[in-house]
Amino acid sequence: MMEQRHIANEGTTSGKHGLDPGGSPATVTIEQLLIESRAGLQRVQPADLEQEMSAGALVVDTRPVEQRERDGDLPGAVVIDRNVLEWRLDPSSPHRLPIANDPARRIVVVCNEGYSSSLAAHTLQRLGLSRATDLIGGFQAWAALRSGS
């Protein structure tokens, strides 16, 4: 089994990322990637989503159209397809949406169950949107809270 190593900023190796001894990119599991992504997020509880909106957060629903048609819309959210999310929110992108004009604005990404939104929020942070985060449990947790289940 190949050992995964991390190339630290100083050029030393440690951990599980970076390049393997053969020079190929090291791999991680999706669970490891999810843990790493969430480590830098101040995730939002479903009960706090309306408060976030009231405070000016941009809530972005990335669920596919089939899920939105089946389960309903998220009131107040902007729908952005996951496959174009970074282009629509990146402050340097010529395809950025006008509502994404403040890189310091709080952005709460919402997917169906709170997994892909964590990965997306982490990517947005890497693009300079330092206050990007996601909704714990996604739309399903928010909907369950509203229905009392």
Residue range 39-51, pLDDT digits in tens: 999 999 999 999 9
Rg (CA), the chain: 17
pLDDT tens digits, one per residue of 94-112: 999 999 889 999 999 999 9
Other C-beta atoms closer than 10 Å to the C-beta of 69 total: 10
| CA-closest candidate to residue 63, choices 3, 131, 120, 145 | 120
Is pLDDT larger for residue 133 or for residue 11?
133
- Coil, helix or strand for 125? helix
Instruction: Look at residue 20 in the predicted model and tell me its pLDDT.
Output: 54
Cα–Cα distance measured from residue 98 to residue 92, given in angstroms and rounded to the nearest whole number: 12
Quick one: what percent of the chain has pLDDT higher than 70? 83
This prediction's pTM = 0.82
For residues 56-67, average pLDDT = 98
Q: Which residue's structure tokens are 């951990």?
A: 15
